[in-house]
Amino acid sequence: MRIVFFGTPEFAVPSLRALLEEGFDVAAVVSQPDRPQGRSRSQVIPPPVKVVALEEGLPVLQPERPVGPFADELRAFDADLGVVVAYGHILKPEILAIPRSGMLNVHASLLPKLRGAAPIQWAILNGEETTGVSIMQMEAGLDSGPVLHSIETEVAADETAGELTERLAELGAEALIEALMMQQAGASTPEAQNHAEATFAPKVSRTLARLDWSRDAATLARAVRAFDPEPGAWAMLGDQEVKLFGGRAVNAGGEPGTVLAAGEMLQIAALVGAVEVAEVQPAGKKRMPVGAWTRGRGVEVGQRFT
C-alpha cells in the first residue's frame, strides 16, 4: 500500500513514525511551509513532520495551499491512500479523490462528537469525562465521513490540553495502524456517523481564551487547562495582560476577580469558588512559577483581575 502522508505539528509525528515502523510504503509527506518564529520573526522553523520526513529521506511537499499545480504533484506519487493527521488545511474533493482508495483522517475525538479544528481544547472546556481518536474516511463535509475505527480514553480531572494532546497523538498512531491492518485483512467496515448527534469544536480564538470572572470556578479552571500551553487563558491585572496556567477549582470566596492568596500559589475569586493557578506568564515575559512572580511583587492580595 503506497501512502502519501499529510501532517504538520508534533501531534502528527507519532502517526508518521508508526507507518514507517510498521513497514508501510510512505511515498511522500505533505506539510505546511516553514514559518518564521520568535519575537523578531527572523528564524524560519520547519514543521515537526517535515523534520522527521527529511530524517527518513522522504520527499516533502509544502504548498502554501493544496490546490492548483499541487494536484499534479500529488498524482505523480501514484498513491493508493492518503493519511491526514492535523495537516491544517481543508482538502478539496478533487484532492481527496487522487489516491485510489481516498484518504483517511486521524481525528482527536470520538466522532460525531467534537468535529472541527480544536477537539482537544473543547473536550476539556466542556468537561468531557471521556474522549478518544477516530479514524475516518474523508469526504467533502467537516469531519463527517464514515468511521473505520476508534479508541476511547478517559480525560483526567487535572489534565491540560498539552498533556491530552500528547496522549491522543500516541493513541491516534495506534488506532491508525489498527485500522490499516483491518483494512488490509478485509475486516474493516466503515460506519456512517449519526449526524444528528454531531457537536462541534471550532478554532480557539483569543476572545474565547479570555477569562470571565463572573463564571464559576470549575468552568474557569477548565478554561485554564484547555488553553495550556496555547494560546494561554488570560486576564488583565490593571493594564497588564497575564496568562494563567495549572488551574484548579478550590473552596474560597470573594468578589469575582479578586486575588485571595498570592504566595507559591495564586488564588482568584470566581462567581462561585476560586481558581488556584500554579504558573503565570505576564506580558513580555516567560512562563514562570507563581512564587517567582509574587516574590517579584508582580501581584498582591486584594488586587483584581478583569
CATH code, domain carrying 242: 3.10.25.10
Q: What is residue 27's predicted lDDT score, i.e. its pLDDT?
A: 98
Q: Which of 40, 88, 83 is nearest to 58 (CA)?
A: 83
Whether 87 and 177 share a structural domain:
yes
The two most distant CA atoms of the chain are separated, in Å, by 65
Whether 30 and 60 share a structural domain:
yes
With respect to residue 211, please indicate whether it lies within any of the assigned structural domains: no
Whether 99 and 132 share a structural domain:
yes
pLDDT tens profile 223-244: 999 999 999 999 999 999 999 9
Whether 224 and 102 share a structural domain:
no
**How many domains is the chain built from?**
2
Whether 38 and 181 share a structural domain:
yes
Q: What is residue 297's predicted lDDT score, i.e. its pLDDT?
A: 87
Whether 62 and 101 share a structural domain:
yes
The letter for the amino acid at 273 is: G
Distance CA 15, CA 19 (A): 6
With respect to residue 108, please indicate whether it lies within any of the assigned structural domains: yes
The pTM score is 0.95
Whether 10 and 136 share a structural domain:
yes
- Full domain range(s) for residue 226: 217-295
Q: In the chain, which stretches have pLDDT less than 70?
A: 40
Q: What is residue 37's predicted lDDT score, i.e. its pLDDT?
A: 82
With respect to residue 202, please indicate whether it lies within any of the assigned structural domains: no
With respect to residue 269, please indicate whether it lies within any of the assigned structural domains: yes
Whether 20 and 157 share a structural domain:
yes
Whether 30 and 163 share a structural domain:
yes
Q: What is residue 41's predicted lDDT score, i.e. its pLDDT?
A: 72
Buried b (16+ CB within 10 A) or exposed e, 117-146: bbbbbbbbbbebeebbbbbbbbeeeebbbe
With respect to residue 271, please indicate whether it lies within any of the assigned structural domains: yes
With respect to residue 305, please indicate whether it lies within any of the assigned structural domains: no
Whether 65 and 115 share a structural domain:
yes
With respect to residue 301, please indicate whether it lies within any of the assigned structural domains: no
Whether 145 and 6 share a structural domain:
yes
